[in-house]
Amino acid sequence: MLLSVPMTLLVALLLGAPAALGATPAVGMLRIASAFDPQSMDPHAVALLYHARVAFQIHDALVNRDADFKLEPALATRWQMTAPATWRFFLRSGVRFHDGSAFTADDVVFSIQRAQGPTSQRAFTLKGIRSVRKVDALTVDFELDAPDAVLPEKLLQVAMMSQAWSQKHGVEKAQDFNGKQETHAVRHANGTGPFRLVAYQPDVQVQLARHDGWWGRADARNGNLAGVTFLTIRSDATRLAALTSGEVDLVPDPPFQDVERLQRDPRLRVVAVTDLGTQYLAFDQARDELAGSDVKGRNPFKDRRVRQAVAHAVNTDLIVQKVLRGQGTPTGSFIAPLVDGHLPELDRRLPFDPARARALLTEAGYPGGFSVTLDCVNIAWREAVCQAAAAMLSQVGIRTQLRSAPTNQFFPKLTQGTASFMEFGWTPQTDPWTTLNGLFRTFDPAGGGTFNAGRYSNPQLDALIDAVRTEPDLTRRRARVGVALRLIHDDLPLLPLYRRKLNWAMASRVQATPWPSDTVELRWVRLR
């Protein structure tokens, strides 16, 4: 039995709770099985897709997205620029945290400052915010170091936390995830969102219960879930067996080779959307010697010709066709079409050309190639992609050894910049600045290059990224984004591979629509 919790008791308790006035009555539990664990309940400690899928059911931000993925009010009802470098946010009245305490401007000031801290993985989105000031109980001002026309977009995944609760439990600072710190916020949460945390068992499950006191409960778009259980089931076969047997209701990451079979099952339906994100290969460009390589005293990846050789050696079209079963789009672009500023001409990849790859290696001074370790997360389809890429690279002389690791070991390597060569995915916001700042800006602890896995550094690009952040005119801003993207495309600090087709397999009784960010708003999910 996969469900190791007293589900019947939990359902009885949840269904016995009184519904909020005007709210849709709760009818049952949704069981979601994923290969990934969220890692922590601290909403500022981790900035991973699999964390966000859970954390933002519990927590609200000042803003959110609507069904069309457009910005809409959340804990802030409206906002306005009151001066070139000042934004005022007006907060929703009557909002309470799950412990019953009131949400006020003090919590906003505390949450932003906490998210800006050195152990927060959300700090990179808040660069340029000089201070947050309480105007009154339901109004806050953001003072910036320069104008920022799209500040509200950057607050989308900055969760609001209770200052009093955080102080009570000694979690005024975000958990140091990379340092494997254990705090009260790792396994407990107190948000304002549509679901409250019941229990978190790492690598096993997360239990959420409907929060009837949620401020948005009367919204007509809302679904009818009494609660949700997220189960971590790493085995693809076991996860799908649980879905087809009815033991779980939804699998957000079905194996690509099984999607066609699932589509034919009358008990199930598969919903697909275009991915907002991109998968990349990252190169160490910081160290003078490539760690673990048989080439000593040099780092081949510092030479652009070597990075280009990698691009020519990897047959991404074949990987998409064979490993992803055609459910992806090879790309040379660093951002997806749904991201503002995308340039279609940059979608064109360097062609698969092993002879050209070998010639470039020779030109760069590596006629015999070199060895390198490729780090990859130990999820089946990711490993299969990495295995295919490693074999292709080895054929041109880049002798690639695959090293797979679980998420709690893999992702700290990404944020600490300790890998020589790694495969990773990035799910952006629709505004390009967070991607540019998070992936390509020179790393600094204050929030630049937080996910710059290879520690690439280009002062010219840094200046462009900062100019994108501070340019108030959206037309000129897009032009600067274009200049930055062309520079990145030419210099190849990362190698973009493909964008996935996102498939969510679910029982026919589930009505849910995933977003292109590979998440689903559980507040809108219905069970028939």
* pLDDT (mean) for 347-372: 97
Pairing mode, strands 28-34 and 225-232: parallel
Where do the structural domains in the chain lie, given as residue ranges? 7-249+509-527, 278-500
* pLDDT (mean) for 185-208: 97
Give the integer Cα–Cα distance in Å for 377 and 409. 9
pLDDT of residue 26: 67
Query: Are 315 and 326 in contact, with CB atoms under 8 Å apart?
Result: no
The torsion defined by the Cα of 4, 8, 10 and 12, in degrees rounded to 10, comes to 180
Confidence check: pLDDT of 5 > 80 = no
* Closest to 401 measured CA to CA, from 290, 481, 287: 290
pLDDT of residue 161: 98
Are 7-249+509-527 and 278-500 the same fold in CATH? no
Write the pLDDT tens digit of every residue in 136-178: 999 999 999 999 988 999 999 999 999 999 999 999 999 999 9
pLDDT confidence bin for 274, thresholds 50/70/90: confident
Q: Which two tokens stand for residue 427?
A: 């799910």
Give the integer Cα–Cα distance in Å for 449 and 415. 9
What topology does CATH give the domain 7-249+509-527? D-Maltodextrin-Binding Protein; domain 2 (3.40.190)
The percentage of residues in the chain with a pLDDT greater than 90, rounded to a whole number, is 88
Place of tokens 């981790």: 46
pLDDT confidence bin for 330, thresholds 50/70/90: very high
The CA-based angle 43-21-509, given to 5 degrees, is: 70
Architecture of domain 278-500: Roll (3.10)
- Close Cβ partners of 315 (under 8 Å, ≥ 6 residues apart): 352, 392
3-state DSSP call for residue 206?
strand
E strand or H helix at 403 = strand 398-405
Sign of CA dihedral 408, 410, 414, 419: positive
Q: Which residues pair with 507 in a beta bridge?
A: 268
Query: Are 507 and 526 in contact, with CB atoms under 8 Å apart?
Result: no
* pLDDT (mean) for 295-305: 97
Widest CA span of the chain, in angstroms? 73
pLDDT of residue 2: 37
Pairing mode, strands 494-507 and 250-251: antiparallel
* pLDDT (mean) for 88-104: 98
For the chain, state the CA radius of gyration: 23
pLDDT of residue 472: 84
Give the integer Cα–Cα distance in Å for 421 and 405. 14
Give the integer Cα–Cα distance in Å for 492 and 459. 15
Place of tokens 């396994």: 187
End-to-end CA distance of the chain: 24
pLDDT of residue 8: 34
Q: Which residues pair with 372 in a beta bridge?
A: 400
Write the pLDDT tens digit of every residue in 32-81: 999 989 999 999 999 999 999 999 999 999 999 998 899 999 999 999 99
* Closest to 487 measured CA to CA, from 221, 304, 316: 304
Tell me the average pLDDT of the chain: 93
* pLDDT (mean) for 271-293: 95
Place of tokens 């589930």: 510
Give the CB-side neighbour count of residue 458, counting CA atoms within 13 A: 22
- Which of the 8 DSSP states describes residue 215? T
